[in-house]
Amino acid sequence: MPAAYDQLSDDAIDAVLDAFYEKVRRDPALGPVFARAIADHEWPEHQRVIRDFWSSVMLKTGRDKGNPFAAHLTVEGISPALFGRWLALFEEICRERLAPEIAAELHGRAVRIADSLQAGLFFNPVVAGLNRRAVPEA
């Protein structure tokens, strides 16, 4: 196992992302979704976009100019359950590649981002309104 980074840097983020997406692409649940969304020849560009995103989020570099929500709107097969699997793999890689405090910080940010994406992708205000009405008022 590689030595853990004890500081967060672009190199540390790159190491996490390389190992993570290697696992994602082989994962029985996540792999097919990613394979449909990103062709083999598109992976280098995807990796660049993801590196810029995480560098901007964690290191405040401002390199990311994308829209993660829009990018995920058209992904065929994406589901709330897959977010849990994605986060579990991400946490595993963070713990393998980063010092504990940094792993927790990066994974915690990923959880918040995943929650936000899920809310935008899967929240149905009609269903939420029906559920609210079904709860008796106190």
pLDDT higher at 65 or 21: 21
Nearest to 38 by CA among 62, 61, 21: 21
Percent over 90 (pLDDT), the chain: 62
Percent over 70 (pLDDT), the chain: 85
Which CATH number characterizes residue 58's domain? 1.10.490.10
pTM for the whole thing? Answer: 0.81
Q: What backbone phi and psi angles, to 5 degrees, belong to 98?
A: -130, 155
86-108 mean pLDDT: 96
The pLDDT value given to residue 127: 46
Taking 90 as the threshold, does the pLDDT of residue 109 lie above it?
yes
Residue 1 in any domain: the answer is no
The pLDDT value given to residue 77: 74
Residue 101 in any domain: the answer is yes
> In the chain, where does DSSP find H-type helix?
10-26, 30-37, 43-59, 68-73, 80-97, 100-122, 125-134
Domain that holds residue 85: 10-134
Long-range contacts of 114-120 (CB under 8 A, 24+ apart): 114/83, 114/86, 114/87, 117/68, 117/69, 117/72, 117/83, 118/80, 118/83, 120/69
Taking 90 as the threshold, does the pLDDT of residue 13 lie above it?
yes
The pLDDT value given to residue 72: 72
Residue 44 in any domain: the answer is yes
The pLDDT value given to residue 95: 95
CA 18 – CA 132 distance, rounded (Å): 43
Taking 80 as the threshold, does the pLDDT of residue 14 lie above it?
yes
Is-contact 8 59, C-beta < 8 A? yes
SS3 of 65, please? Answer: coil
Give the model confidence (pLDDT) of 22-63 as tens digits.
999 999 999 999 999 999 999 999 999 999 999 999 999 999
The number of folded domains in the chain is: 1
CA 24 – CA 35 distance, rounded (Å): 10
Residue 2 in any domain: the answer is no
